[in-house]
Amino acid sequence: MVPLPRFQLPLPLNGPPPGYGWEECGMSASASRSFKTGVHRRDEFFGQAAYCAICGLFMLEEDLGVIQLCYILKDLSPRAWNRLKDLNWISPQANDGPRHDPRNGLALCLNHRDLFENYDCIIRYFPENRKFVLINYSDIPDLQEFHGKAIALDINDRDAPYPSLFILHEMRVRGFQPEQPLDPAIPDNITWQDWILSGGLVNQDTFSHDLPRRQNMLPLQSTPPRQSTHSGRMVFRGFVCVFLFLFAFFVWFWKYIA
């Protein structure tokens, strides 16, 4: 194990640290898609819906809401987004606004979205092997099996996430967890998540989106997904609609028929 290298502070103003610039990563100047379309296309594998980049849970039709598209920096203002353009932390031709560019997004299951957006974990890009690696910064037991391993984000994709945005997310994580060790230990050799290897998502570090899904591939689901309230709201709305319809019918019946 080796300590996770730290970024030197203050962060540079003329672009991200070496190795994290969008040009150095071979990213195109402009995103080719809208946010939703771009993230779905990039994070889909085997013709399924998008996978959770961390645990490999994928969305079945009956599980609407289990996989969600979320932002790397969820509350960034358009003004801050434009400042990142000016500083060349992201492409000057990035889509307008942080909520419209797929390179500020990724697909995660409900559990891991909560942990990522609540600043419990870090996703660190490693320029030397071009992988995005999960760091269990808050030392959460359920995340430990994913710690120090590369997740299903493809830096070679035309809509690859900006590595620089994960640096800013990491700064927030460190700010939210000042009691945690600054240099958590990570493996010497970065490997892919177990489900990525067992499922054949990568072949010599190249992602395969179009291969038929293997029968023996089951997404890891170490923690059961939180029950979505979406379906509950839909059922409630259905009951309200039925009640209003019956009420209107009885009023009409009483007035004109009875």
The site for Zn ion (CB under 5 A) is made up of 52, 54-55, 57, 109, 112
Question: What number of other Cβ atoms are within 10 A of residue 160's Cβ?
Answer: 22
For residue 107, list its beta bridge partners.
Answer: 69
Pick from 173, 55, 29: which is nearest to 111 by CA?
55
Where does residue 161 rank: exposed (0-12), middle (13-18), buried (19+ CB within 10 A)? Answer: buried
Q: How far is the CB of 98 from Zn ion (least distance, A)?
A: 22
Contacts of 138 (CB under 8 A, 6+ apart): 115, 120, 121, 177, 180
Q: How far is the CB of 216 from Zn ion (least distance, A)?
A: 20
Specify whether the CB–CB gap between 226 and 114 falls below 8 A.
yes
CB-nearer residue toward Zn ion: 52 or 106: 52
CB-nearer residue toward Zn ion: 16 or 56: 56
CB-nearer residue toward Zn ion: 208 or 222: 222
CB-nearer residue toward Zn ion: 27 or 151: 151
State yes or no: cis peptide before 10, omega within 30 of 0.
yes
Q: How far is the CB of 54 from Zn ion (least distance, A)?
A: 5
CB-nearer residue toward Zn ion: 52 or 59: 52
Q: How far is the CB of 189 from Zn ion (least distance, A)?
A: 23
| DSSP characters over 183-195 | S-EE-SS-EE-HH
Q: How far is the CB of 161 from Zn ion (least distance, A)?
A: 16
